[in-house]
Structure 1
Amino acid sequence: MGNSGSAPEPDTDEFSSPAPAQEPAGLTLYKGERNSKGDFQWKEAAGGIHASLYDANEDATGRRPEWHFELEGGPVDLNAVIDDDFVFDLASRRVLFTVDNTIWALHTPAGGVFEALHAKYERALFENKWGLEDTLENRNKIMGTDGLQMIGKETAESLRAWADDMDVDVPTAAELSTPPRERLVGRRDAIHGLVMGAGDRSYLIRDGEINVMRNVLGGMEDAAVKLSFGMPESGGTPGTGRRSTRRSSLGPAAASGGGSLTPSRALLMAAESKMAMLTPLRKSNLIQADIETGRVVSEWSFQKDGVDIPMDDIVGDTKASQLEDRQTFLGLGTNRLVRWDMRDRAGVVQEMGSPIVQYAGGKDYARNTNFTCMATSGDGYVVVGSQDGRVRLYSESTLTQARTSIPSLGYPITDVDVTYDGRWVVATAAHYLMVVMTTYRPPGSEATLCGFTSRMGANSPAPRLLRLRLEDALRTGNKPLQKGRFTWVTERGRQERWVVASCGSYTVRWNLRVVKTANAQTVSGGGLTTVDQYQLLSKEEHVVDSAFMHDNFARSHGESMVVVTDNHVYNINDDEDSS
């Protein structure tokens, strides 16, 4: 690329490595600052500067590429390693990035300069992320043959598919701009987790005990009840029950000691009358408690062919299964996806003393799949995230092979969720949420297919990224996004309307309908449409979880949500009458 005149259009058919040539002069640099009122604004820092990309390891034999973005000619020379945090604003031809906790925006003139810079950035990003030369062969190696289309740039067909159901469900301006109201519900020391119920109760996980919360319209209230489950003794023999005589206590919660357990995962079952729990100390065992009596009634072993199988996560067969009298559920291990059955092989519910959970189906993967999280839809479709960043979609009938595998963007997936109808998936990574539309139409067909039951491949609409604006990422201390999930719906005909995630001491809410109708004016992560319109709710301490109340407890004029911090519980509502 030359040093004068307009830059040529990038050659999108080739994947050659970006050349370390300078861009033309005439670029303008802006610095992001907050004024005395705390509002973010741009201030011109320099004009007539030069921008270039170069590989710092170009002459180092055997070292992976390390591409940098460098600006020269202004009062301050800037240098940033190429990563996913660069944002390209197509409408204003700006490149936004951060250097040493300061936000900068590079404005480019018309004439193809912006497009050429973006193309070179994408090639440099690929090489930095994967350590390989950016060739078509290497892209296929990393992403698969269809991967370039599955996580590629937005097309007209993709835009149409995303907005297909928006004719009857468009968000109002007031809905997007009105901040929700909050109410402090109570204070508890050392809250570790939240178990949401769709019935009368939800639960706070604490050290050695579980506090019962009463679900009410618009949120929850303290029920002044605690459950303190005793850890069953280890070493029991098959066919014998392992029961705890430790019962629930009424009144204000107090610290419990002794052998009381603190679950790492908890799942409500049997119309929310029982709670199944995993503990870090016994990952191949499932502890089941009766919530009505406040007692541990049995401890089950996860086994296949007589061998104990450790589990890292458990979820219900479907999104509504905790409301039903089901005896099956799903378990996830590092390289295992399993359906477990608490009945014997003849289909009769086991006695409480039986310690073996039957292996009812699934797969042990020989390769390192490194599964991290899973979720289920209303029909029992299963979405699984992994350490390598891939998202896999399984049908309700088989767990042995994913129908669709969505390529990695290079970062571990820590949480996943799926809408009740299975049309949308959200996958959480440290600095973005990826929303995937799972329905698609094959070329030349009017039939609508689903990625959970058939392979999407190159036919899938491009996913979209939800991320914080750079100034808000700095405000949160660059803390990771966690536990992205949709509005909680458990019946057909209801639409999820929001996506929520936690980030340090903040809760972030994106309107799902805004996500569906977003245009490709802002892109990141290699060219994916990026949505940075959201509500940011601040707390004074770390947010443990942010979760929507079940649809039964949402107020009529908006969604109801609960935010749990290290020591406090808040009800969050859109309804003006919630205070």
Structure 2
Amino acid sequence: MFALRSLSKYLFGNANKESIIELPQGQLYIVRPRSLKGYSELIFKDAAASIRRTGQEYQYQLVIQRVYEEGEAELVGEDGTQDDRLDGVASDKDEKTFLLDQDLHFRVDIRDDGEVVLGWLDLSGDDGDLFEFVCDPSATPETASSFALVAAQCQYERKYRKPRDLATDQELREFSFEHEDPIPQASPIQSPSRSPIISRSPTISPPPTTTRMPSLNQSNSGVKRSEAMPRTTRSGKAPLRTYEEAPTIAPSANKAPEARETLADQDVQLHLFDFQSGTFVQQAESVNATVTEIGNWKYWLQLNSDDRDWLGQEVVPELNPVFNFEYLSFIFNHYSEDGNAYSWLLRFKEKESLEEFQQGLMQALWEHSNQTKWLKAKDTERDYVLDAFNDLVLEDKDDEREAEAREEDEQEEEEYYDQEEDEDDGQRSEHYDSDESEDDVITRDEDGNVNSQLAVGYKHDRSFVVRGSKIGVFKHTPDNHLEFSTNISKVETPGGKVFNPKKIMLHAEDRNMIMQDGDNPNSLFRMDLEYGKIVDEWKVHDDIPVNTFAPEKKFSQMTGEQTFLGLSNNALYRIDPRLQGDKLVESELKQYATKNGFTAAATTDKGYIAVASSKGDIRMFDRLGINAKTHIPALGDPIIGLDVSANGRWVLATTRTYLLLIDALQNDGKNEGKLGFEKSFAKDSKPQPRRLALTPSHVAQFQHETKVALSFTPARFNTGPDSDETTIITATGPFIITWSLKKVLAGRKDPYSIKRYAEDVKADNFRFGSDKNIVVALPNEVNMVAKRALQRPTRESIMATPRKTGRGSYLSRNDIVNSPY
């Protein structure tokens, strides 16, 4: 065993940290022993070397970042010297990145004088060319050993696509390159501080005697935290905000109200998520965890030890509970009275204890949400609820799905490294005026309106954004950007009433837009998009309002289909604008006696219908006017959005704090192979639920950053008649979030990526026919962003605060798209 491997877990730490290890001071050279260009060139006089995680699993980067002295960055930017001199040598004047791959032959040497040197091949240069990072004399051999170990483990993960913990000693030695020639000496620094590159003759500096890095296997028991993971503050290309250095401290606990009944009572080990280190830190070896009923459908979770009360809070959906039976743990969120979020972990002694606690907590949560006793629910419904909140994979997970997930990893990796991303991820919205000057940038409406709704075109590559009583129209360009096309400056009824559309839907090959006035729930309006005005008012029914509406089939908007679906609180019906008088088709009306609180609907390409409610249940129909074929139980949280895959296999529901992915295919019984839309599930069978939620630690970090609770926008699949559903998109606050469907089905623990904006995301959707580009509506901007710009959620990607655009943004006329219109 490598003696240093005991430090590996500490060095890598939690996956929320982007940077694993760092050498804070040194110089970067390129050395060309056989080139006529000169023996060596100094690229960065002052630099830092680090190993970072990327947005892809098993992929890491060696990063060399230039460090500026105070004021130097501004001087370089003014005269442009750095840019000119580095042309053709460095891909970026401030930072160079290298994928940590075996082909680099990365190695670490310690010379007789104690100087530490990192060396790796220049794969784009001539034979024998290599980069050298010459460390500052303050770098210790112990720190160099740690850096070499981390580099070897990263290369192991990339080559074998396995966690580093599985590496044998022999496999790690494969990446030490012990038999390579010593790293040649680069030229000494003999240049003014402003000279970025120095060329030297190969006769000037003969290589000194060098000690090869000790094979990663010599004892270095004296490595300290300050040496292994040094902290520096430097001015870089995109500096992050300073992290809080103080460890996270548990807030004071609320006293438990008087209990009427105890639903769960277990002794557990208590851990609290620490924002500074990105790990769960043990707080107490043994605490008593209880769940009690306190009256009026309210329930209480209390954690106490012999010497103190640790936590007391109501059992509400915001707990974001996750049960992990592999690690015998329960993770949840707690919100203090000042709005801060904390993530707690309870570790149980045995599986039976965790099962009993889960039963009690889920009973409390379900009864609170449904205001119905748990025992009144059917056995299959209770099992469904418990399965949805377990941290488990779908039952039909297999090697083929894992292979598909790995294939997607490789594809994402190729996109990540082979395609350079624009510094501006998408086209920013700015003030529209036919004769505005380029520096006349206004991004706020005087009336205070902001962007609120988005409709992405099916037929003509357009996006439509609602802002108050205005609608902006944007063209999708072939190079995946947005161009402002036109604006509809006033939405008004045929009678002249101006209103802000409550809901919109494109219709009839994107020629029309159906919209609703919130003050007139029994009517809908048709806007002719060629004329940019409302031309029809459709009275649906005097007694049956329209809560929401949806297309007849998944891709009806690509056709001239005139009919579409409508929902009220307790009715589902077809709307046919061609009818005289009321537009509701009476023969295709399904009305329930009780108010079900229908909130959303979606259809498949065959016209099968899924309907969701504020109670949290979902009904599946094969056609209108009849009873549902399948009724999916409620978890208790209102469903605010619904989508269905084109083939009907997957149903996607959105609640405020999580998504629910349901497999509608029956895998056994007499209806095996049939969808829940076509045939009812057998009594002893049930749909397969998968609760898609952010990890509790990420939820805590999100709220720690934004001071606002989670609130997802309606989630959607990417869609198109010739494309399969592969990705799910939603947003909460300033974060766009995508889930990989393949990774979800393969059972990956955190199969999602994020991108943070400077302002809250108001609406989002994929460009039609692809999952590669996303249209995003911010309060005062409209962007198209490449999906590859999203990153794996780490502490750094969650904390990174983008700059807001606004007055003084220098975009060309082609870059300007309209949001305030």
Is TM-score (shorter-chain normalized) higher than 0.5? Answer: yes
The residue correspondences of 1:389-538 to structure 2 (distance < 5 A) are 389-395=616-622, 397-443=623-669, 447-457=672-682, 458-474=684-700, 475-476=702-703, 477-491=708-722, 494-518=723-747, 532-538=750-756
For residues 360-407 of structure 1, give each alpha carbon's deviation from its aligned partner in whole angstroms, at most 9, with x where no partner exists. Answer: 512222111110111111111111110111111111x23431111110
Please state how far the C-alpha of 1:490 moved relative to its aligned partner: 2.7
Choose the corresponding residue for 2:429, options 180, 186, 191: 186
In the superposition, the TM-score normalised over structure 1's length comes to: 0.76
Report the counterpart of residue 767 of structure 2 in structure 1: 549
Amino acid at match of 2:472: N
| DSSP 3-state at the match of 2:647 | coil
Paired residues of 1:219 and 1:571 also in contact (CA < 8 A): yes
Choose the corresponding residue for 2:360, options 123, 131, 142: 123
Match status 1:563 vs 2:776: yes
Report the counterpart of residue 290 of structure 2 in structure 1: 53
The residue correspondences of 1:147-226 to structure 2 (distance < 5 A) are 147-153=381-387, 159-161=394-396, 166=401, 169-170=404-405, 171-174=407-410, 182-187=425-430, 189=444, 190-200=450-460, 201-217=462-478, 219-226=480-487
For residues 124-169 of structure 1, give each alpha carbon's deviation from its aligned partner in whole angstroms, at most 9, with x where no partner exists. Answer: 33135315999xx954633x464234445389x9944355973874
Q: What is the aligned-residue identity percentage?
A: 22
Amino acid at match of 2:531: T
Please state how far the C-alpha of 1:119 moved relative to its aligned partner: 2.0
CA gap 1:108/1:544 in 2 versus in 1, 3 angstroms: same
Please state how far the C-alpha of 1:317 moved relative to its aligned partner: 0.4
For residues 232-254 of structure 1, give each alpha carbon's deviation from its aligned partner in whole angstroms, at most 9, with x where no partner exists. Answer: 355xxxxxxxxx7xxxxxxxxxx
Tell me the distance in 2 between the aligned counterparts of 1:220 and 1:263: 26
Please state how far the C-alpha of 1:56 moved relative to its aligned partner: 5.7
Paired residues of 1:191 and 1:566 also in contact (CA < 8 A): yes
| DSSP 3-state at the match of 1:378 | coil
Paired residues of 1:390 and 1:407 also in contact (CA < 8 A): yes
CA gap 1:487/1:365 in 2 versus in 1, 3 angstroms: same
Report the counterpart of residue 321 of structure 1 in structure 2: 556
Report the counterpart of residue 539 of structure 1 in structure 2: 757
CA gap 1:571/1:224 in 2 versus in 1, 3 angstroms: same
Tell me the distance in 2 between the aligned counterparts of 1:341 and 1:19: 52
Which stretch shifts more, 80-89 or 185-194?
Answer: 80-89
Tell me the distance in 2 between the aligned counterparts of 1:543 and 1:398: 35
For residues 387-438 of structure 1, give each alpha carbon's deviation from its aligned partner in whole angstroms, at most 9, with x where no partner exists. Answer: 111111111x234311111101111111110111110011111111010000
Paired residues of 1:152 and 1:462 also in contact (CA < 8 A): no
CA gap 1:233/1:562 in 2 versus in 1, 3 angstroms: closer
Paired residues of 2:316 and 2:368 also in contact (CA < 8 A): no
Paired residues of 2:426 and 2:481 also in contact (CA < 8 A): no
Q: CA RMSD in A?
A: 3.2
Choose the corresponding residue for 2:329, options 71, 82, 94: 94
CA gap 1:518/1:145 in 2 versus in 1, 3 angstroms: same
Please state how far the C-alpha of 1:459 moved relative to its aligned partner: 2.1
Structure of larger gyration radius: 2
Tell me the distance in 2 between the aligned counterparts of 1:138 and 1:98: 25
Please state how far the C-alpha of 1:20 moved relative to its aligned partner: 5.8
Tell me the distance in 2 between the aligned counterparts of 1:313 and 1:327: 17
Match status 1:302 vs 2:540: yes
CA gap 1:218/1:449 in 2 versus in 1, 3 angstroms: farther
| DSSP 3-state at the match of 1:434 | strand
Please state how far the C-alpha of 1:209 moved relative to its aligned partner: 1.2
Tell me the distance in 1 between the aligned counterparts of 2:633 and 2:370: 18
For residues 331-387 of structure 1, give each alpha carbon's deviation from its aligned partner in whole angstroms, at most 9, with x where no partner exists. Answer: 11111211011224xxxxxxxxx6642425122221111101111111111111101
Amino acid at match of 2:428: V
Report the counterpart of residue 269 of structure 1 in structure 2: 507
Tell me the distance in 2 between the aligned counterparts of 1:568 and 1:454: 45
| DSSP 3-state at the match of 1:105 | strand
Please state how far the C-alpha of 1:536 moved relative to its aligned partner: 1.9
Report the counterpart of residue 247 of structure 1 in structure 2: none
Please state how far the C-alpha of 1:541 moved relative to its aligned partner: 1.1
For residues 148-204 of structure 1, give each alpha carbon's deviation from its aligned partner in whole angstroms, at most 9, with x where no partner exists. Answer: 34445389x994435597387434334567878732432354111101102222201
Q: Give the length in aligned residue pairs.
A: 488
Amino acid at match of 2:409: A
Paired residues of 1:140 and 1:147 also in contact (CA < 8 A): no
Tell me the distance in 1 between the aligned counterparts of 2:427 and 2:309: 47
Paired residues of 1:67 and 1:128 also in contact (CA < 8 A): no
Please state how far the C-alpha of 1:271 moved relative to its aligned partner: 1.2
Paired residues of 2:367 and 2:373 also in contact (CA < 8 A): no
Report the counterpart of residue 349 of structure 1 in structure 2: none
Choose the corresponding residue for 1:79, options 312, 322, 327: 312
| DSSP 3-state at the match of 1:97 | strand
Report the counterpart of residue 798 of structure 2 in structure 1: none
Please state how far the C-alpha of 1:308 moved relative to its aligned partner: 4.8
Which stretch shifts more, 558-567 or 81-90?
Answer: 81-90
For residues 315-342 of structure 1, give each alpha carbon's deviation from its aligned partner in whole angstroms, at most 9, with x where no partner exists. Answer: 1101111110011100111112110112
Paired residues of 2:263 and 2:360 also in contact (CA < 8 A): no
Tell me the distance in 2 between the aligned counterparts of 1:367 and 1:453: 25
Amino acid at match of 2:563: T
Higher relative contact order (CA 8 A, sep 6+): 1
| DSSP 3-state at the match of 1:148 | helix
Paired residues of 2:475 and 2:485 also in contact (CA < 8 A): no
For residues 429-464 of structure 1, give each alpha carbon's deviation from its aligned partner in whole angstroms, at most 9, with x where no partner exists. Answer: 111101000011333x58401101111254234201
For residues 466-520 of structure 1, give each alpha carbon's deviation from its aligned partner in whole angstroms, at most 9, with x where no partner exists. Answer: 11122322314322222111112234xx32111111111211111111111217x
Amino acid at match of 1:472: H
Give the gaps of 5 or more residues in structure 1.
1-16, 235-243, 245-258, 345-353, 520-530
Tell me the distance in 2 between the aligned counterparts of 1:504 and 1:191: 14
Amino acid at match of 2:476: N
Paired residues of 1:213 and 1:220 also in contact (CA < 8 A): no
Amino acid at match of 2:585: Y
| DSSP 3-state at the match of 2:762 | strand
Which stretch shifts more, 263-272 or 173-182?
Answer: 173-182
Choose the corresponding residue for 1:572, options 761, 766, 785: 785
| DSSP 3-state at the match of 2:363 | helix
Tell me the distance in 2 between the aligned counterparts of 1:420 and 1:218: 27
Which stretch shifts more, 68-77 or 95-104?
Answer: 68-77
Choose the corresponding residue for 1:330, options 551, 565, 590: 565
Paired residues of 2:494 and 2:536 also in contact (CA < 8 A): no
Tell me the distance in 2 between the aligned counterparts of 1:452 and 1:543: 33
Amino acid at match of 1:186: S
Tell me the distance in 2 between the aligned counterparts of 1:106 and 1:358: 54
Tell me the distance in 1 between the aligned counterparts of 2:783 and 2:655: 25
Tell me the distance in 2 between the aligned counterparts of 1:133 and 1:206: 36
For residues 543-564 of structure 1, give each alpha carbon's deviation from its aligned partner in whole angstroms, at most 9, with x where no partner exists. Answer: 111211111xx3xxx6211121
CA gap 1:222/1:19 in 2 versus in 1, 3 angstroms: closer
Tell me the distance in 1 between the aligned counterparts of 2:575 and 2:591: 14
